[in-house]
Structure formats: structure tokens, C-alpha cells
């Protein structure tokens, strides 16, 4: 039996050696040079080429190399009986909390204005937002969203949160799926940490932006396909959104010619909000590999129907 890694734009050798360090007896194969495709029972995938799994007829479980599983759910060529799992680790959530906290602190302190002023050699003071002046609304209160909400509250911010099923988080005002309007009407800084599913694709559109409290800001750290790009440009141009911080894009790397690059009111980071740590992930991958072989319940199995 073997464990296969199929990951483009990732240092696969690092993952292979991390897995072998946890259990040297595991036979780790790296796509595309697979010695015996029929021996592959467990695969780890990130940005895999479509239809690639048809070469591995005995795959039982595929783990995403990250927290998101949209790339696997969207691949209709993966047979229905194949189970899907994902990476959930303390470091992944800690990094996301740091990203959200840093981003919100920068927005409250108007750092983006000072960066522009520096380019122009301009000295002008702007009043920072007070922490009780704006509410930060977190879309998605899962593994990452809940921790991010708590980290923000620990740092004195007012926080609201929205999820499919209502969550109870001490100190935060929470809303269920059918309470989106109430959530948006309370929110100034919208932080997106939703999974990408049929229901959430394109959710960040003009209709949603119009319901935010003014001044409004957008932080998208989930998936590019959540955002209707032309609606964001319109919202920024008309002042509906004051500034957007985008870590994820429909096309990655963001093409050089993309209009987002040249915009003062958009801050771009290259999908670095939270990056899977090979050593931490290896422990979880080995555990799920062993569970696959022994037929035990998997850790962090995804509901393929719900899409997350």
C-alpha cells in the first residue's frame, strides 16, 4: 500500500520527508512518477490535474493539503465512494488568526493611507478608528472563523459572526444562515472565512456590500470565487467599500494584467493568510492513512454533499 502526494506549486519533497519522519515504513509516492499506481490507497492533493485520480483505481481517501476542499469537491471525476478529508491543525488556525488580527489593526489604524502618503512624501495625520466604533463581522464560524473571532475579541474588537447553524461564542453577536441581513447591517469590516460551495460562490456581491454598515471594509481570506470582482470595483469606486484586503483570487497567481494590482484601495497578498505546515500536517496525514488502512473513522472527514 502507498500514500501518494499530488501537489502543484508546493514543496512536495518537504511533505514526503515530514511523513517519512513520522513513520519511515510508509511508502510515499510523488506524482507524476508513481511506481505502482494500483498500490495507492491514500492520496494528498493540492491543485491536482482533473481526472488524475482515474489512474489510481484503489484510492479510498483523498486528503486536501489545506483546510479548503473545494478543489476536490468540484472534481466530478472523483468516484462517490472516495472519502475526502482536510487539514485542521493549531498552526493553520493560529496563522489565520494572526492574519485577520493584523489586517484589522491596519484597517483601524489606516495604515493603507500612510503607505500611499509615504510614496508621495506626504505628512498628514488621520484619526484612527476606535475599537468600539466599528464592528468586525466574520462570515463563517468554523475551525478558522471561530478562532479568528475569539482572537479579535481578546484584542478588544467588537465582533459579530455568521454561520449556517447558529453558534454560541462568548462576547460575540452571532447569526444563523437566515439572519444574514441582520449580520450585515451590524458589520463594518467584513472578514470572509467561508468554504467555497454552491451556496457561497459569488456571495460577496453588490447586493451584500450595500447592506454593510458605513464605513465598510472587506477582507477576503477564503476563496477568490466568493467575490464578484466587478462588483467590488464598483463598490470601491462609489465609496460603498472604503478598502479591500484580498488574499485569494479566482485565478492564482493573480495575472500581471489584472486591474486589482493598480488600485490604491485594494491590498493584495499572495494566498499566505495561513499556509499548511508540513511537519504538523504529516502527523494528521499519517493518522488518517492508518485509519484508512484499518477502516476506522477518519479525522476531519468532509460532508461531500454539503461541500465542506
Interatomic CA distance for residues 54 and 16, integer angstroms:
22
Torsion of CA 218, 205, 215, 169, to 10 degrees: -60
Q: Which of 223, 243, 263, 291 is catalytic?
A: 223
By CB under 6 A, name the one of 89, 274, 288, 292 that touches ligand NDP: 274
Interatomic CA distance for residues 191 and 273, integer angstroms:
12
Q: Is 222 a binder of ligand NDP (CB under 6 A)? A: yes
What does each C-alpha distance from 96 to 45, 131, 271 come to in angstroms?
A: 21, 20, 11
Please say whether the beta carbons of 184 and 203 come within 8 A.
no
Interatomic CA distance for residues 163 and 30, integer angstroms:
37
Could you tell me the smallest distance in angstroms from the CB atom of residue 69 to ligand NDP?
A: 7
Nearer to ligand NDP among residue 214 and residue 269 (C-beta) = 269
> Is 243 labeled as catalytic in the residue annotation?
no
3-state SS assignment for residue 133: coil
Per-residue contact string for residues 57-76; x = within reach of ligand OXD by CB under 6 A? ---------xxx--------
Which helix (H) or strand (E) segment holds residue 139: the answer is: strand 135-139
Q: Is 248 a binder of ligand NDP (CB under 6 A)? A: yes
Angle between helices 143-154 and 90-108 (to 10 degrees): 50
> Which set of grid coordinates corresponds to residue 140?
463563517
Nearer to ligand NDP among residue 142 and residue 215 (C-beta) = 142
Nearer to ligand NDP among residue 29 and residue 247 (C-beta) = 247
Q: Is 267 a binder of ligand NDP (CB under 6 A)? A: no
Interatomic CA distance for residues 267 and 218, integer angstroms:
10
Please say whether the beta carbons of 187 and 158 come within 8 A.
no
Q: Is 83 a binder of ligand NDP (CB under 6 A)? A: no
Q: Is 28 a binder of ligand NDP (CB under 6 A)? A: no
What does 142 interact with, of ligand NDP, ligand OXD, none (CB < 5 to 8 A by kind)?
Answer: ligand NDP
3-state SS assignment for residue 113: helix
Per-residue contact string for residues 134-153; x = within reach of ligand NDP by CB under 6 A? ------xxxxxx--------
Q: Which of residues 247-276 bind ligand OXD (CB under 6 A)?
A: 276
> Is 271 labeled as catalytic in the residue annotation?
yes
For ligand NDP, the binding residues (CB under 6 A) are 66-68, 140-145, 163-165, 177, 193-197, 199-200, 221-223, 247-248, 271, 273-274, 308
Residues with catalytic function: 223, 271
For ligand OXD, the binding residues (CB under 6 A) are 66-68, 276
Amino acid at each position: 500500500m502507498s500514500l501518494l502526494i499530488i501537489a502543484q506549486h508546493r514543496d512536495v519533497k518537504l511533505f514526503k520527508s515530514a511523513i517519512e519522519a513520522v513513520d519511515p515504513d510508509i511508502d510515499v509516492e510523488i506524482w507524476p512518477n508513481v511506481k505502482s499506481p494500483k498500490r495507492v490507497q491514500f492520496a494528498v492533493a493540492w491543485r491536482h490535474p482533473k481526472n488524475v485520480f482515474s489512474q489510481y483505481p484503489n484510492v479510498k481517501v483523498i486528503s486536501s493539503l489545506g483546510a479548503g476542499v473545494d478543489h476536490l469537491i468540484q472534481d466530478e471525476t472523483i468516484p462517490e465512494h472516495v472519502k475526502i478529508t482536510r487539514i485542521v491543525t493549531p498552526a493553520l488556525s493560529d496563522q489565520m488568526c494572526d492574519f485577520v488580527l493584523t489586517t484589522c489593526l491596519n484597517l483601524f489604524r489606516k495604515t493603507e493611507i500612510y503607505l500611499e502618503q509615504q510614496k508621495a512624501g506626504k505628512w498628514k495625520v488621520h484619526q484612527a478608528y476606535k475599537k468600539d466604533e466599528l464592528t468586525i463581522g466574520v462570515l463563517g464560524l468554523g475551525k478558522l472563523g471561530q478562532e479568528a473571532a475569539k482572537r479579535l475579541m481578546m484584542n478588544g474588537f467588537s465582533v459579530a459572526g455568521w454561520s449556517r447553524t447558529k453558534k454560541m461564542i462568548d462576547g460575540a453577536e452571532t447569526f444563523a444562515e437566515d439572519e444574514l441581513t441582520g449580520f450585515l447591517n451590524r458589520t463594518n469590516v467584513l472578514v470572509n472565512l467561508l468554504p467555497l460551495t454552491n451556496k457561497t460562490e459569488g456571495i460577496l456581491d453588490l447586493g451584500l456590500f450595500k447592506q454593510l454598515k458605513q464605513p465598510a471594509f472587506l477582507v477576503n481570506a477564503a476563496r477568490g470565487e466568493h467575490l464578484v470582482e466587478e462588483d467590488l470595483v464598483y463598490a470601491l469606486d462609489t465609496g460603498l467599500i472604503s478598502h479591500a484586503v484580498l488574499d485569494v483570487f479566482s485565478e492564482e497567481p493573480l495575472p500581471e494584467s489584472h486591474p486589482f494590482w493598480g488600485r490604491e484601495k485594494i491590498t493584495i497578498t499572495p494566498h499566505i493568510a495561513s499556509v499548511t505546515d508540513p511537519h504538523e500536517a504529516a502527523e494528521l496525514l499519517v493518522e488518517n492513512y492508518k485509519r484508512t488502512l484499518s477502516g476506522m473513522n477518519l479525522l476531519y472527514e468532509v460532508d461531500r454533499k454539503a461541500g465542506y
